[in-house]
Amino acid sequence: MSRLIIISNRLPVTIDKKDGELFYHPSAGGLATGLNSLSDDLDTVWVGWPGKIIEEEWEKPAIKKSLSARNLVPVFLNRDEVELYYEGFSNKIIWPHFHYFTQYTTYKDEYWEAYKQVNEKFAEEITSIVKEGDKIWIHDYQLLLLPRLVREQFPEISIGFFLHIPFPSYEVFRILPWRRELLDGVLGADLIGFHTFGYIRHFLSAVYRISGHEHSFGKLNVENRIINVDVFPMGIDYDKYAFPEKQLVDKETKRQFLKKETKIILSIDRLDYTKGIPERIKAYGKFLKQYPEYIGKVTLVMIVVPSRSNVDQYQDLKNEVDTLVGRLVGAYGSFDWEPILYFYRSFSFLDLTALYKVADIALITPLRDGMNLVAKEFIAAKERNKKGVLILSEMAGVSDELIDAIIVNPHDSNDIVSALVKALEMDASEQKRRLESMQSKLKINTVGHWAKTFIEELTEMEKQKNKMVKKLSVGSDDRMRLVNDYTNAENKLIILDYDGTLMDFQTDPKAVIPDDDLMGLLFGIKNKEGNKLVIISGRDRNTLDEWMSPLDLDMAAEHGVWVKKNNNWKTAKNLVSAWKNKVRPVLNNLVERTPGSFIEEKDYSLAWHYRKIDKDLSEKRIREYRDVLQYLTANLDLQVLEGNKVVEIKNAGVNKGKAALGWINEKKWDFILAIGDDHTDEDIFKALPKNSYTIKVGLQQTQARYHLLSVTDVRELLNELIAI
């Protein structure tokens, strides 16, 4: 049976000690519920902190033994680690920063050192229990460094990571002093999950701008690994809230709080500055002022669950909330009606579900929230009576799913006031229609479905890695077949692209002069008996001559415009260059509007390079100018070619495939190998006989038979052929 090792900051149990005896209590939470619903085909082991500082060393073995019986593995943290790693870096740096409250971010090196040390402590514990075939699923912001640490110890293991809080925009994330280390830590995973596409967009933008990795449809190529970044919105245990085991009496619950006629507006949050509690109270007060006809007819039942009461910002927030509630009650309260019922404590599941059922409106307006499961719980609890309205902040991740709620800007008090009026005036049929629409989604996208989908995708990633990328891994059947065919052939043609195939891309195209290792590699291939080595590149002929002259190679430049055989360059027939005078002004305008891009002029082509500019800006410019260039070139027998971070205009009818035919037709080859990385190399793959070995560098769709992930992989394969 395969195993799933789950790692989170906290275990799904809490340890208490009374009269010298240890007690273990299950911790409530959606994560535990979802993971408990996974298939029995998976044996799960959970690693995390048991939630209590164990001062006595002799108690640790007993705790380990007791937890082991539950498939739980404790990571013990001392007092300093809890203070610096958890309360410090996790909750005074990552939490406020990722929620856009940078004014509360405390940058301290000792927090960072503790964060690293605790992540390393988790990694050590995982290392001691990992077995072959295990999958690892790491959770949340306290363990951002852990995927990389585990990857370093187990390069081939399958690792998933899920972030349960928002990922901020690049402009906010870049402020962090440890931004690169945190990103590199997460990029140790194979599958990275977020609640919403917006968070994915921010993450991929940060990865591109800080770590330099460009994605293709959410997939990244990092250190010869495919990483998939995808959306997995977390759900709830729907039936638990829709059909609680204990039947709840709605009328009795309501009578505990209010008069029968009073409408209940329900607000439930943990005490946190991200939840927008003061803003909500102020908006409610504004509502009562602008619509006095509702005084005595509505009551805001506000539950605030205590949290981090020893942190200054939370103490200040508690004082602010208390003050605002007091002012509101003083301004509008009377002997027989209170505008707000404020509870600063936690409620039991039964009491919460009872409130969900009787509440007329749920007012959920966080300033920033990763998901917010309270909104989903409220909707599920309305399964039977189909009455109730959800007012929901657009800043909560759940707003992407619950589009039938009344969506508001939590910073706009007028928007919230209008939403309250709309909710109170909404007729029963409209309430039912909206609720049923949202309920139909929540019934499918449960927390169990969330966990199952993530693990299935992680498993699929494993299969794809073995199926596509690993086809030419050392020792694979395909690799051995290629090497064997090469060894047994007498006449061998090897066609290689240059940029992105033999040398990694650089922001400066002139900075990819072949290094000594590459020159030695090409020299070895060229001089091996029976080999014919050809370089076919988009580079101009002068650059290729300058770089490759010591090797005396056959080459094609400018995608086949120039062909060099027997040390003699010849151009293709019927080429013209007068058209450049018409196209050049358009490209000059493009450069002027796009700082960092530039034009490269070749004998019979013009190329616009955008390697140094923002990916989104380059895509915008390409969309803007594509039609203009197509129109200009339509009657000039020209072709607009989109390559890797370059757009090139050249004579039509000339391409790498036609250039390759010149060497393919020279003789009967026993073995043909072609390797390239971008669109222009597809013409070579199409031109070659079907039994040729064609290899695409990267993850893009291709006509090639095989994939290699990187320039490093290409060089390793070529070195293997030399060694034969």
Whether 145 is in a domain gets the answer: yes
Question: Based on the domain organization, do 258 and 300 belong to the same domain?
Answer: yes
Question: Based on the domain organization, do 254 and 333 belong to the same domain?
Answer: yes
Query: Which tens digits make up the pLDDT trace of 387-410?
Result: 999 999 999 999 999 999 999 999
Q: What is the pLDDT of residue 213?
A: 85
CATH number of the domain bearing residue 79: 3.40.50.2000
Residues forming the active site: 497
Q: What is the pLDDT of residue 253?
A: 52
Work out the average pLDDT over 305-312. Answer: 82
Question: Based on the domain organization, do 248 and 177 belong to the same domain?
Answer: no
Query: Which tens digits make up the pLDDT trace of 278-301?
Result: 999 999 999 999 999 999 999 999
The domain boundary, picked from 612, 633, 649, lies at 649
Domain limits for position 480: 469-572+654-722
Question: Based on the domain organization, do 208 and 71 belong to the same domain?
Answer: yes
Query: Which tens digits make up the pLDDT trace of 171-202?
Result: 999 999 999 999 999 999 999 999 999 999 99
Rg of the chain (C-alpha set): 32
Work out the average pLDDT over 336-365. Answer: 94
Question: Based on the domain organization, do 216 and 358 belong to the same domain?
Answer: no
Structure tokens given for 37: 């619903």
The domain boundary, picked from 213, 231, 249, lies at 231
| Cα–Cα dist 522/501, whole Å | 13
| Cα–Cα dist 454/135, whole Å | 12
Q: What is the pLDDT of residue 33?
A: 62
**Are the C-beta atoms of residues 158 and 135 closer than 8 Å to each other?**
yes
Question: Based on the domain organization, do 140 and 168 belong to the same domain?
Answer: yes
Please name the amino acid found at residue 388. G
**Are the C-beta atoms of residues 368 and 104 closer than 8 Å to each other?**
no
pLDDT grade for 443, boundaries at 50, 70 and 90: very high
Per-residue CA distances from 638 to 578, 630, 634 (Å) = 12, 9, 7
Residue 76 contacts by C-beta under 8 Å, 6 or more apart in sequence? 49, 50, 54, 60
Whether 224 is in a domain gets the answer: yes
Whether 299 is in a domain gets the answer: yes
pLDDT grade for 313, boundaries at 50, 70 and 90: confident
Secondary-structure percent of the chain, ordered helix, strand, coil, rounded to 5: 45, 20, 35
Question: Based on the domain organization, do 284 and 317 belong to the same domain?
Answer: yes
pLDDT grade for 364, boundaries at 50, 70 and 90: very high
**Whether residue 326 has pLDDT greater than 50:** yes
Structure tokens given for 55: 């001062």
User: What proportion of the chain, given as a percentage, has pLDDT over 90?
Assistant: 68
| Cα–Cα dist 653/559, whole Å | 11
Question: Based on the domain organization, do 276 and 210 belong to the same domain?
Answer: no
CATH number of the domain bearing residue 677: 3.40.50.1000
**Are the C-beta atoms of residues 492 and 486 closer than 8 Å to each other?**
yes
Strand order through the sheet with 298-305: 340-343, 298-305, 263-270, 361-364, 389-393, 406-408
Pairing type for strands 531-536 and 215-216 reads: unpaired
Collapsing DSSP to helix, strand or coil, 622 comes out as: helix
Q: What is the pLDDT of residue 14?
A: 81
Residue 382 contacts by C-beta under 8 Å, 6 or more apart in sequence? 356, 357, 388, 435, 439
- Number of domains the chain contains: 4
pLDDT grade for 229, boundaries at 50, 70 and 90: very high
Work out the average pLDDT over 114-118. Answer: 98
The domain boundary, picked from 212, 231, 250, lies at 231
Query: Which tens digits make up the pLDDT trace of 235-261?
Result: 999 999 999 876 554 545 554 555 567
Q: Looking at per-residue confidence, does 138 or 156 come out higher?
A: 138
| Measured torsion, CA atoms of residues 446, 451, 457, 458, in degrees rounded to the nearest 10 | 170
Residue of 114, 96, 112, 95 whose CA lies nearest to 104: 96
Note the pTM of the prediction, 2 decimals. 0.81
Half-sphere CA count of 177, side-chain side, radius 13 A: 10
Question: Based on the domain organization, do 506 and 540 belong to the same domain?
Answer: yes
Strand order through the sheet with 706-708: 568-571, 562-565, 554-557, 531-536, 492-496, 671-676, 693-697, 706-708
**Are the C-beta atoms of residues 156 and 475 closer than 8 Å to each other?**
no
pLDDT grade for 678, boundaries at 50, 70 and 90: confident
Whether 376 is in a domain gets the answer: yes
Work out the average pLDDT over 702-707. Answer: 90
Q: Determine phi and psi for 272, rounding to 5 degrees.
A: -160, 145
Q: What is the pLDDT of residue 249?
A: 47
CA max distance for the chain: 103
Whether 251 is in a domain gets the answer: yes
Question: Based on the domain organization, do 626 and 675 belong to the same domain?
Answer: no
Whether 671 is in a domain gets the answer: yes
Region of poorest pLDDT, from 54-68, 77-91, 141-155, 418-432: 54-68
The long-range contacts involving 318-322, CB below 8 angstroms and separated by at least 24 positions, are 318/271, 318/344, 320/278, 321/271, 321/277, 321/278, 321/281
Whether 450 is in a domain gets the answer: no
Q: What is the pLDDT of residue 466?
A: 66
CATH number of the domain bearing residue 633: 3.30.70
Pairing type for strands 219-222 and 215-216 reads: antiparallel
Question: Based on the domain organization, do 157 and 255 belong to the same domain?
Answer: no
Half-sphere CA count of 455, side-chain side, radius 13 A: 26
**Bridge partners of residue 192, in order along the sequence:** 161, 229
Question: Based on the domain organization, do 41 and 188 belong to the same domain?
Answer: yes
pLDDT grade for 19, boundaries at 50, 70 and 90: confident
The long-range contacts involving 626-633, CB below 8 angstroms and separated by at least 24 positions, are 628/586, 629/583, 629/586, 632/582, 632/583, 632/586, 633/579, 633/583
User: What proportion of the chain, given as a percentage, has pLDDT over 70?
Assistant: 95
Structure tokens given for 590: 């493009």
Work out the average pLDDT over 618-644. Answer: 79
The mean predicted confidence, pLDDT, of the chain is 90
Q: What is the pLDDT of residue 281?
A: 98
**Are the C-beta atoms of residues 629 and 643 closer than 8 Å to each other?**
no
Q: What angle do CA 94, 100, 106 make, to 5 degrees?
A: 45
**Are the C-beta atoms of residues 641 and 650 closer than 8 Å to each other?**
yes
Whether 458 is in a domain gets the answer: no
Region of poorest pLDDT, from 154-158, 454-458, 575-579: 575-579
Work out the average pLDDT over 63-91. Answer: 94
Q: What is the pLDDT of residue 215?
A: 84
| Cα–Cα dist 369/375, whole Å | 12
DSSP letter string, 392-442: EETTBGGGGT-TTSEEE-TT-HHHHHHHHHHHHH--HHHHHHHHHHHHHHH
The long-range contacts involving 342-349, CB below 8 angstroms and separated by at least 24 positions, are 342/302, 342/304, 343/301, 343/302, 343/303, 343/304, 344/271, 344/304, 344/306, 344/318, 345/303, 345/305, 345/306, 346/305, 346/306, 347/303, 349/28, 349/244
| Cα–Cα dist 364/276, whole Å | 9
